[in-house]
């Protein structure tokens, strides 16, 4: 049996990073007025509960997909596909997370709107490339279900976060 390395688990670690970082930052900035936390129920805006729900669905889909590909009976992910996924996360997901966080705490979130939309378009293109080039023909129902949980869960969590920043 092949020895497991950090690289084998890197995608799993990166999958949990946004949720962990979001939770830590919320704890660190819990007194920031823009977050509108309360000492009374419901304690936070509904968007934060929706982000937690959809983020959990996305993370569960990502973990299930990760485990699916670790089963020797299932198809292994080609290097080009791993590179496309890393590109979407590294050049789309991480900048998006940072832009959204800074916009949420900013006195002028509109200053972040154009960069957020540009990164959003880029990230959607990267995710679409991964789905339509690598997944559309070879994935079965089970793997597609995991991908949908991951993509739509993250998308709905992002929409709730965007709503909190720009509409609430």
The tens digit of pLDDT for each residue in 85-118 reads 777 777 788 899 999 999 999 999 999 999 999 9
Helix (H) or strand (E) segment spanning residue 140: none
What are the extents of the domains in the chain?
Answer: 45-166
- For residue 62, give the nearest of 17, 97, 120 by alpha carbon: 17
pTM (2 d.p.): 0.87
The DSSP symbol for 77 reads P
Contact 108, 124 (CB under 8 A): no
pLDDT of residue 163: 98
pLDDT of residue 75: 67
């Amino acid at each position: 049996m092949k020895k497991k390395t950090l690289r084998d688990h890197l995608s799993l670690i990166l999958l949990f990073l946004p949720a962990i970082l979001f939770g830590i930052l919320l704890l660190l900035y819990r007194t920031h007025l823009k977050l509108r936390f309360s000492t009374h129920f419901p304690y936070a805006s509904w968007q934060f509960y929706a982000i937690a729900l959809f983020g959990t669905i996305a993370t569960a889909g990502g973990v299930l997909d990760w485990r699916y590909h670790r089963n020797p009976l299932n198809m292994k992910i080609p290097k080009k596909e791993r590179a496309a996924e890393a590109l979407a996360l590294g050049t789309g997901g991480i900048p998006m997370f940072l832009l959204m966080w800074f916009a949420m705490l900013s006195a002028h979130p509109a200053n972040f709107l154009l960069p957020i939309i540009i990164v959003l378009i880029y990230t959607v293109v990267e995710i679409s490339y991964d789905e339509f080039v690598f997944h559309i023909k070879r994935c079965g129902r089970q793997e597609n279900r995991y991908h949908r949980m991951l993509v739509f869960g993250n998308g709905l969590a992002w929409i709730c976060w965007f709503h909190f920043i720009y509409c609430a």
